[in-house]
């Protein structure tokens, strides 16, 4: 039996994209494998690690907890969409300056989360900076330099 | 970890949704925020034949204060409830929501969905229970309103029937002179609570004074306790609450520790509410 | 460009790519590949009676299903026992697919290859396996009792028994002024990198070559394993390591069943095949570490000087032993730490259980070792009523005693000889950093506020940079750019940056002109891998030596061209110069051109190297003892490991009601010799400490008595978020160089994690006044301990 | 996983014994049990349709009564398998005189829950199991006290001998969340009934 497929139209990083996928196809898989935007990573597929975080209409969400078909018509921003004209964003630069990444696998989820977080709160306190990233797992950095990067990005 | 196949339905109105659900019966599952459902689908612990996606039911995307209650539509995300006037009208909502997972999950997860999910550790189940709120259920045959006391039947089990869509949850607004608090102990920030207590207190003399609690993670459903008579003594309050709970142990905490926590957190919650 | 970049916090060259979504991890590759899903045993111990795949065959998109019966030749043999040891008398390894029996829940039984992972899982779910459950052996106690056996032919469930000793510890303890016994336990945790295991295999039928990409810590190891199992010549197998999303030990152990099946299937099917491990699979079918029980007897004098130390421990190595005895050997030797007990005896049993196999996880047996030794030191101090620092200090090996021979055999089969370190100085720094001598004031002030605080510390010595060898290749392009290759792999340590720093200094070129490739057997075929805090020491040294070789040649070629003496020349900012003669210089790229005599001019630059332009017509264009090209290749193979060391201290607060533990301060003093890049050094320490905190307070593998892992997800395996790690880790360094390698460096990758359980146990014990003998500890555990302690106290009063 | 509990049943131990070991009763009292087939002396194969709402599923399992010590104790050995896991359990049941014509029943279930559900379900498994056990015994007690009829529980029309199917139920299985669809089996494990949905699911 062949599985039914659905037309899904998304605006990804400002570019209209269209895929034809089964209803069960996760947004994370559509981004990574159908659109080959592999910057979004998958670390647990049960919504705990945050590596797959993307912005849905500007708000951070777990792309592994969304069916692509359910966000048909919406706007998605991935890590590939954070730099502007080849210039890294303030958050990306801060990660580079502060050594906020090691293996880099969890990093895209942090970048999208912090990008949205700083839009909401331009001048987080140290405690707020920690709270901002409290839903993302990193196994390499011990988070110390990620917190530093949030504060540096906010200050820039 | 990929979901099994299912047939996808995306009704545009509540009427359409309940018509589809009437037809599919217990072969369908409602997809709202999906923050609990999708992991279960991906792990193939659940594999419904049909999924009815209610994310297009714009008519259910609301949070409003009316008739003495904060009314939350089935499509309102936790974040909407946190941000909108809801928190001012019923501060306990905000106090509880900040403990529900992490902001990214709250951006997508729905308040109604987490109540229908009826997780014994779900903070919002305690809020609904302690406030004596209600859930409005709509089916093709009509609608009914189920009070919180009758809504939670067991762990992950609510009174919602397969053909019914929970369209709205009502949380009574804070009464005059009432204040509240939500405290919990979780292993990690954002995890399911090892034990949690929602407290609502009302100052005043005689019959006006009131202190009520709802506890999570110590019973199969949120446990509501009227602690008015013992609210002013730490020892009495602690003793009363620990005597009322019969928690289970699990890999994160022993049953006795949970019972102990229930007492400790009950005192903390009541004191914090009184100080608010 | 004469400034040394070695020692500078140079920003990482790999970051920009990773920050913009350009990282290339295993599952980012092979979008055209078929996907594997694995049927895994739900039982910890069972006989497989029958596998019925009939139902799976209907699944649209299914390409193949493999079970043990399909395997032939070496593929049907057990997987290799990678590190044999004479004491491992009963080593056992699993099969690529279960051959009639499964020994842990998660063991691979069948593999499905399908058009995508969704379809593969659909098919896998339809495969029906008939099991005959067998009695489960779970935990050290059950393994020791041996009422049931994991492997029928392994009596007592004992895979190995090993004793090492110097002096006569038991006799010394008998006659010591003071004696103590302790029983300690540490539970399992796991590496748990954010990216799981993964393999992508492509078979090129035309060239008869296998090319494999793997999320690995050893591309050469996997290459050799694949060649052996698939009966291919090594030259016909290439293994490429893309970006790796963390390793921490678990990715050193190849071949995994999935590696073999992917490679084997791609050749049979003539289509690329990929396995991407999901999170649940990582919990139940990769590897764990740490689970050990220790019984310690110690005899000491009035100052706390250890006269005799007798350690008996039991190591749970899971269902199989592919990685030999590395973990318990490290525990038994590194237990000594910075101390010099007069007599030492250690004996361990390495035991089989029906659980996921146990192989090194960052720290690799050392966290258990530090826990055992540091708890012992604290117990001695408590028994004598002496300061915990003082007791340690009287036991320290002194700097003047270096090199210090411990009279033991280390994990590499070589003598355990410490090469460097100044333990009293490290301790002095730590005491100052944490404010050890002022802590009683802190405690009193806290008490006045109704708060309970405690302080603890722990020391460790870490053998780093184990052999046998690593190599480096430095190639200078005619553009002047420098291409560096080494065979070991990278999982976030910033090798592309630190190796570039080394080469930039050695060669005298800008660091941004140096490009480093790791873990690609096409570029460098001889290597061991990334583990045991060895990359900087091993490959760093090899690359430095290779760069020196390239530099020597550059000077020679340039000297010829400039008619100068090579000894009078230097390379500065990519230009070879005659010292003190401004204008007498030649660009390194030009030297590269000159180094390769040409017949054909492919571009403008190469014209200057063609046969009518250069060379003494009386000599061969390439001298007898020379080679064309401007490159250097060298290897570093040390006689033994180099030993880094460190000491940590923490101040914790415990909630008197909820028993929650909060880390108020965490301090680290570390000695890894000269730091190549202090920014990266501190990052490694941060990450290690966070993993240590996880292992001390949050993470454990909850097996039930049936061998079911009850917390096989990130929901219940409590890897710390930012909210669970200390807000700020205070670090100080001591840099005592080792004489063993050209850079004087010692490893540090594992350092941060090693003493954390010991330190936090000590701090909690100090806060609570209750002995802490088992880690990790949860609030529930601590509360239960308080209750038991109170009950005991009450009984005592009766 | 271990689940224990006790309950008071309103009949003497001999009656209770007869009742809870009677396939005609079991098929009607095990939550979700649709079919019980006698496969040998005190051995049954059963089909359980447990779980509710959208996650209701039908699963096959086997149950055997062993270590019988009439009328005071017996052990139910149950097992079953489904796509997301397996379950194998021994339930030790002891009956003792509770006075006033009642019997105290205690059960101690030791379940080996394998597969996905075993690894992620721990937080709710026990309480679901306990609840389902409670439901099972309530159903049994209804039979004992006559609140529910016994007769219709016999074989379906034209039935194979030894095959019992459940009649339409007066007492509906309550509806619930989806996880329950897979966890309910923990409850089924009780009284040899601990098999079902825990490990299975609808295809």
Q: Give the alpha-carbon dihedral of C564, C570, C572, C576, to 10 degrees.
A: 30
DSSP C697: I
Q: How far apart are the first and last CA of chain B?
A: 45
B104 closest CB neighbour out of A3, A29, A50? A50
CA C500 to mean position of chain CA atoms: 22
pTM of the predicted structure, to 2 decimals: 0.94
- Predicted local confidence at residue D194, as pLDDT: 36
Whether D111 and D89 have beta carbons less than 8 Å apart is answered as yes
Summarised one tens digit per residue, pLDDT across range C214-254 is 999 999 999 999 999 999 999 999 999 999 999 999 999 99
- Helix, strand, or coil (residue C580): coil
Cα(B48)–Cα(B26) distance, integer angstroms: 9
Summary mean pLDDT of chain B: 94
The alpha carbon of C392 is separated from its chain's Cα centroid by a whole number of angstroms, namely: 28
**Among A23-37, A95-109, C402-416, which stretch is predicted with the lowest mean pLDDT?**
C402-416
D72 φψ region: left (φ > 0), alpha (ψ -120 to 50), beta (else): alpha
Element (H, E) at D124: helix D122-144
Is the model's pLDDT at D197 over the cut of 50? no
Q: Residue C558 is encoded by which pair of tokens?
A: 């340039």
Supply D165's token pair: 């199917």
Average pLDDT over residues C359-379: 97
pLDDT band at A133, cuts 50/70/90? very high
Q: Number of A:B CB contacts under 8 A?
A: 83
Q: Is the pLDDT assigned to residue D187 strictly greater than 60?
A: no
With H, G, I as helix, E, B as strand and everything else as coil, classify residue D155. coil
Q: Is A150 on the interface with C (CB under 8 A)?
A: no
- Nearest Cα residue to C203 out of C238, C255, C242: C238
Listed residue (C124, C122, C146) closest to C135, CA to CA: C146
Q: Give chain C positions within 8 Å (CB) of B190.
A: 721, 723
Residues C79, D42: Cα–Cα separation, whole Å = 44
Return d(Cα C724, Cα C693) in angstroms, integer. 8
How far is CA C150 from each of CA B245, C46, C105, C159, rounded to the nearest angstrom?
42, 10, 13, 11
**Closest CA–CA distance from residue C116 to any residue of chain D (Å):** 19
Q: Where is C327: in which H helix or E strand?
A: helix C326-334
Strand order in the sheet with C237-240: C62-67, C108-114, C34-40, C273-276, C198-204, C209-214, C237-240
How far is the C-alpha of C722 from the C-alpha of C690, rounded, in Å?
9
pLDDT at position C87 is: 97
For residues D75 and C115, the model is more confident at: C115
**Beta strands at C178-186 and C101-102: parallel, antiparallel or unpaired:** unpaired
The H-assigned helical ranges of C515-657 are: 535, 541-562, 588-594
Using CB atoms, pick whichever of C121, C279, C780 lies closest to residue B257: C780
From CA B87, how far away is CA B127, in angstroms rounded? 12
CA distances from C434 to C251, C649, C650, C751 (A): 36, 7, 8, 18
Measured at the alpha carbon of residue D141, what is the angle toward residues D136 and D145, in degrees to the nearest 5? 155
Question: Are B256 and C720 a contacting pair at CB < 8 A?
Answer: no
Q: What percent of chain D has pLDDT over 90?
A: 3
> Nearest C-alpha of chain D: how many angstroms from B178?
33
Contact B254 C779 (CB under 8 A): no
CB within 8 Å: D83 and C709: no
Mean pLDDT of C528-549: 95
- Residue C516's φ and ψ, nearest 5 degrees, are -115, 135
For residues C681 and C689, give the distance between their C-alpha atoms in angstroms, rounded to a whole number: 12
Helical (H) or strand (E) element with D62: strand D57-69
Q: Work out the angle at residue C577's Cα, subtended by the Cα atoms of residues C575 and C582, and round it to the nearest 5 degrees.
A: 110
* pLDDT for D182 beyond 60: no
What is the CB-side half-sphere exposure of residue C259 using CA atoms within 13 A? 30
SS3 C205: coil
Going by the DSSP 8-state scheme, the letter that residue A33 receives in this structure is: I
Q: What is the pLDDT of residues D70-100, one digit of tens each?
A: 889 988 888 877 666 778 888 888 999 988 8
Reading phi first (left if > 0) and then psi (alpha if -120 to 50, else beta), residue D98 is in: alpha
Average pLDDT over residues C332-361: 98
Average pLDDT over residues B100-118: 95
pLDDT exceeds cutoff 50 at D56: no
Closest residue of A to B109, CA-based?
A61
Residue D203 pLDDT greater than 70, yes or no: no
Flag whether residue B47 sits within 8 Å of chain D, measured between CB atoms: yes
Contact A23, A4 (CB under 8 A): yes
- Relative to beta strand C273-276, strand C34-40 is parallel
The pLDDT value given to residue C107: 98
Residues 6 or more apart whose CB falls under 8 angstroms from that of C407 comprise C166, C415, C416
pLDDT band at residue D45 using 50, 70 and 90 as cut-offs: confident
User: Strand C575-578 relative to strand C585-587: parallel, antiparallel, unpaired?
Assistant: antiparallel
CA dist., res. A121 & res. A140, Å (int): 26
Chains that touch B (3 or more CB pairs under 8 A): A, C, D
In B68-199, which ranges are continuous DSSP H helix?
A: 78-83, 86-89, 91-97, 103-108, 111-117, 123-131, 148-151
Residues ≥6 apart with Cβ < 8 Å to C627 = none
What is the rounded distance in angstroms from the CA atom of residue D125 to the CA atom of residue D31? 16
Please report the pLDDT score of residue C624 as a whole number: 85
User: Cβ–Cβ of B39/A45 closer than 8 Å?
Assistant: yes
Instruction: Give the separation between CA C716 and CA B248, rounded to whole angstroms.
Output: 16
Q: Residue D152: how many CA atoms within 13 Å on its side-chain side? A: 10
Residues of A in contact with C18 (CB under 8 A): 101, 104, 107
Q: What is the DSSP string of C472-510?
A: EEEEE-TTS-EEEEESS--SSS-HHHHHHHHHHHHHT--
- Strand, coil or helix: C654: strand
As a 3-state breakdown, chain B gives helix, strand, coil percent values, each rounded to 5, of: 40, 30, 35
Q: What angle do CA C411, C414, C420 make, to 5 degrees?
A: 95
- Locate C326 and state its tokens: 């590395």
Contact D103, D117 (CB under 8 A): no
Average pLDDT over residues C739-750: 94
Distance, CA of C725 to CA of C289 (rounded, Å): 21
Q: Which chain B residue lies closest to C118 (C-alpha atoms)?
A: B2
Q: What is the DSSP letter of D154?
A: S
Residue D172 has pLDDT above 60, yes or no: no
Which 3 state secondary structure label does DSSP give C379? helix
Candidates B238, B247, B184; CA nearest to B220 is B247
Pairwise CA distance, residues B7 & C128, whole Å: 25
d(CA A60, CA A41): 14
**Minimal CA separation from C351 to chain D, in Å:** 23
From residue C322, how far is each of C94, C193, C255, C539 by CA, in Å? 8, 20, 10, 25
| Of the candidates A40, A35, A39, A60, the residue with the CA atom closest to the CA atom of residue A114 | A60
Alpha helix stretches (DSSP H) within C80-185: 117-125, 139-145, 169-175
Q: What is the 3-state secondary structure (H, E, C) of B248-268?
A: CCCCCCCHHHHHHHHHHHHHH
D42 pLDDT band, cuts 50/70/90, is: confident
pLDDT category of residue D58 using cuts at 50, 70 and 90 = low
Measured CA to CA, the distance from residue C49 to residue D24 in angstroms comes to 33
Task: Quickly tell me which residue has 């991407």 as its tokens.
Answer: C276
pLDDT over 80 (residue B85): no
Instruction: Determine the pLDDT at residue D190.
Output: 37
Tell me if B41 and A24 make a contact (CB, 8 A cut-off).
yes
Q: Do D180 and B155 touch (CB under 8 A)?
A: yes
CA nearest to B20, candidates B33, B10, B6? B10
pLDDT over threshold 60, residue C376: yes
What one-character-per-residue DSSP string does B42-78 give?
HTTS---SEEEE-TT-GGG--EEEETTEEEEETT-BH
């Amino acid at each position: 039996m062949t599985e039914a497929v659905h037309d899904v139209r998304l605006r990804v990083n400002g570019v209209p994209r269209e895929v034809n996928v089964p209803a069960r196809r996760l947004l994370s898989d559509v981004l990574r494998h159908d659109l080959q935007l592999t910057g979004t990573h998958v670390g647990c597929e049960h919504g705990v690690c945050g590596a797959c975080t993307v912005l849905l209409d500007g708000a951070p969400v777990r792309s592994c907890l969304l069916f692509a078909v359910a966000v048909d018509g919406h706007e998605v921003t991935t890590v590939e969409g954070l730099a502007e004209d080849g210039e890294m964003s303030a958050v990306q630069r801060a990660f580079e300056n502060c050594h906020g990444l090691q293996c880099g696998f969890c990093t895209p989820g942090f970048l999208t989360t912090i990008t949205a977080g700083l839009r909401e709160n331009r001048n987080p306190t140290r405690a707020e900076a920690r709270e901002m990233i409290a839903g993302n797992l990193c196994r390499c950095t011990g988070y110390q330099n990620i917190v530093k990067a949030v504060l540096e990005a906010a200050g820039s | 970890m990929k979901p099994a196949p299912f047939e996808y339905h995306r009704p545009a109105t509540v009427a359409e949704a309940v018509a589809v659900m009437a037809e599919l019966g217990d072969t369908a599952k409602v997809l709202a925020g999906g923050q609990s459902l999708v992991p279960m689908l991906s792990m193939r612990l659940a594999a419904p034949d049909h999924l009815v996606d209610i994310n297009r039911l714009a008519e259910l995307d609301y949070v409003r204060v009316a008739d003495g209650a904060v009314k939350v539509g089935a499509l309102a995300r936790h974040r909407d409830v946190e941000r909108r006037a809801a928190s001012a009208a019923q501060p306990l909502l905000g106090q509880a929501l900040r403990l529900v997972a992490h902001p990214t999950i709250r951006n997508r997860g729905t308040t109604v969905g987490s109540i229908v999910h009826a997780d014994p550790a779900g903070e919002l189940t305690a809020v609904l229970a302690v406030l004596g709120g209600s859930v409005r259920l709509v089916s093709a045959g009509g609608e009914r309103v189920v009070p919180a006391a009758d809504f939670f039947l067991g762990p992950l089990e609510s009174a919602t029937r397969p053909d019914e869509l929970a369209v709205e949850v009502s949380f009574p607004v804070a009464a005059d002179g009432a204040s509240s608090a939500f405290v919990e102990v979780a292993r990690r920030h954002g995890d399911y609570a090892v034990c949690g207590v929602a407290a609502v207190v009302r100052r005043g003399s005689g019959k006006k004074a009131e202190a009520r609690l709802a506890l999570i993670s110590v019973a199969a459903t949120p446990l509501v306790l009227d602690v008015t008579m013992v609210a002013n003594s730490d020892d009495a309050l602690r003793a009363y609450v620990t005597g009322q709970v019969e928690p289970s142990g699990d890999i994160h905490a022993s049953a006795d520790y949970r019972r102990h926590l229930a007492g400790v957190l009950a005192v903390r919650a009541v004191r914090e509410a009184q100080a608010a | 460009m004469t400034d040394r970049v070695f020692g500078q916090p140079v920003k990482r060259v790999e970051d920009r790519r990773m920050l913009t979504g350009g990282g290339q991890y295993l599952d980012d590759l092979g979008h055209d590949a078929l996907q594997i899903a694995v049927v895994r045993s739900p039982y910890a111990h069972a006989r497989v009676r029958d596998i019925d795949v009939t139902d799976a065959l209907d699944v649209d998109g299914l390409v193949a299903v493999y079970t043990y019966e399909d395997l032939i030749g070496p593929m049907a043999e057990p997987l290799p026992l990678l590190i044999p040891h004479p004491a491992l008398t009963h080593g056992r390894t699993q099969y690529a697919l279960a051959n009639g029996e499964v020994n842990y829940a998660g063991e691979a039984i069948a593999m499905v290859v399908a058009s995508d992972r969704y379809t593969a899982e659909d098919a896998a779910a339809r495969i029906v396996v008939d099991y005959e459950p067998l009695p489960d052996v779970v935990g050290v106690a059950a393994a020791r009792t041996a009422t049931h056996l994991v492997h029928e032919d392994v009596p007592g469930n004992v895979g190995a028994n090993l004793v090492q000793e110097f002096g006569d510890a038991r006799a010394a303890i008998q006659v010591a002024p003071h004696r103590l016994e302790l029983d300690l336990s540490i539970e399992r945790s796991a590496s748990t990198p954010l990216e799981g295991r993964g393999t992508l295999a492509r078979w090129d039928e035309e060239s008869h070559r296998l090319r494999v990409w793997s999320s690995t810590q050893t591309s050469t190891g996997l290459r050799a394993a694949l060649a052996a199992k698939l009966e291919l010549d090594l030259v016909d197998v290439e293994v490429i390591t893309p970006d790796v999303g963390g390793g921490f030990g678990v990715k050193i152990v190849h071949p995994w069943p999935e590696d073999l099946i992917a490679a084997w299937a791609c050749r049979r099917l003539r289509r690329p095949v990929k396995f991407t491990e999901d999170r649940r699979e990582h919990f139940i079918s990769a590897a764990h570490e740490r689970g050990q029980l220790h019984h310690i007897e110690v005899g000491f004098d009035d100052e706390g000087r250890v006269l005799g130390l007798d350690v008996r421990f039991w190591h749970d190595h899971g269902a199989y032993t592919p990685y030999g005895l590395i973990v318990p050997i490290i525990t038994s030797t590194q237990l000594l730490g910075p101390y010099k007990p007069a007599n030492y005896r250690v004996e361990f049993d390495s035991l089989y259980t029906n659980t996921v196999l146990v192989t090194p996880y960052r720290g690799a047996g050392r966290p258990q070792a530090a826990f055992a030794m540091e708890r012992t030191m604290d117990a001695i101090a408590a028994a004598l009523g002496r300061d915990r620092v003082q007791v340690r200090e009287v036991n320290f090996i002194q700097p003047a005693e270096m090199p210090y021979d411990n009279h033991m055999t280390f994990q590499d089969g070589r003598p355990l000889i410490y090469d460097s370190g100044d333990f009293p100085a490290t301790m002095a720094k730590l005491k100052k950093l944490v404010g050890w001598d002022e802590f009683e004031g802190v405690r009193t002030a806290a008490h006045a506020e109704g708060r309970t605080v405690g302080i603890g510390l722990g020391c460790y010595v870490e053998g780093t940079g184990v052999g046998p060898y690593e190599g480096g290749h430095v190639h200078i392009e005619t553009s002047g750019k420098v291409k560096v290759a080494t065979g070991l792999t990278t999982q976030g340590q910033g090798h592309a940056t630190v190796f570039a720093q080394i080469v930039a200094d050695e060669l005298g070129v800008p660091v941004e002109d140096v490009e480093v490739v790791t873990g690609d057997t096409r570029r460098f075929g001889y290597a061991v891998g990334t583990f045991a805090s060895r990359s900087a020491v091993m490959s760093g040294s090899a690359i430095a030596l290779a760069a020196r070789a390239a530099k020597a040649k550059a000077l020679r070629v340039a000297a010829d061209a400039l008619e100068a003496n090579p000894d009078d020349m230097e390379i500065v900012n990519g230009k070879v110069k005659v010292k003190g003669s401004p204008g007498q210089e030649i660009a390194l790229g030009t030297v590269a051109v000159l180094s390769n005599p040409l017949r054909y001019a492919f571009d403008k630059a190469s014209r200057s190297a063609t046969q009518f332009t250069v060379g003494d017509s009386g000599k061969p264009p390439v001298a007898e003892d020379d080679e064309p090209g401007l490159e250097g290749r060298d290897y570093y193979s040390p006689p033994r490991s180099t030993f880094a060391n460190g000491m940590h201290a923490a101040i914790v607060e415990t909630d008197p009601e909820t028993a929650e533990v909060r880390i108020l301060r965490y301090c680290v003093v570390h000695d890894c010799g000269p730091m190549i890049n202090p920014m990266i050094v501190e990052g490694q320490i941060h990450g290690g400490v966070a993993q240590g905190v996880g292992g001390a307070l949050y993470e454990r593998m909850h097996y039930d008595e049936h061998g079911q892992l009850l917390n096989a997800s990130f929901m219940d395996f409590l890897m710390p978020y930012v909210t669970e790690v200390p807000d700020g880790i205070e670090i100080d360094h001591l840099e005592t160089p080792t004489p063993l390698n050209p850079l004087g460096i010692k490893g540090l990758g594992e350092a941060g994690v090693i003493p954390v359980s010991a330190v936090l146990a000590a701090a909690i014990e100090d806060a609570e006044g209750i002995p802490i003998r088992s880690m990790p500890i949860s609030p529930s555990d601590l509360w239960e301990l308080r209750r038991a302690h109170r009950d005991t106290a009450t009984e005592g009063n009766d | 996983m271990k689940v224990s509990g006790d309950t008071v049943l309103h009949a003497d131990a001999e009656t209770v014994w007869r009742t809870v070991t009677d396939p005609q009763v079991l098929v009607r009292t095990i939550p979700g049990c649709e079919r019980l087939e006698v496969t040998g002396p005190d051995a049954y194969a059963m089909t359980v349709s447990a779980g509710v709402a959208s996650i209701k599923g039908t699963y096959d399992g086997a149950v055997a009564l062993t270590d019988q010590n009439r009328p005071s104790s017996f052990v139910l050995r149950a097992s079953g398998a489904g796509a997301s896991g397996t379950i194998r359990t021994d339930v030790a049941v002891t009956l003792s005189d509770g006075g006033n014509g009642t019997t105290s029943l205690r059960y101690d279930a030791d379940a080996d829950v394998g597969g996905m559900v075993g690894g992620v379900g721990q937080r709710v498994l026990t309480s679901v199991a306990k609840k389902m056990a409670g439901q099972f015994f309530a159903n049994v007690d209804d039979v004992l006290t006559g609140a529910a009829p016994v007769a219709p529980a016999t074989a379906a029309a034209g039935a194979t001998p030894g095959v019992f199917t459940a009649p339409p139920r007066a007492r509906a299985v309550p509806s619930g969340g989806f996880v329950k669809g897979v966890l309910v089996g923990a409850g089924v494990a009780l009284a040899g009934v601990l098999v079902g949905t825990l490990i299975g699911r609808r295809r």
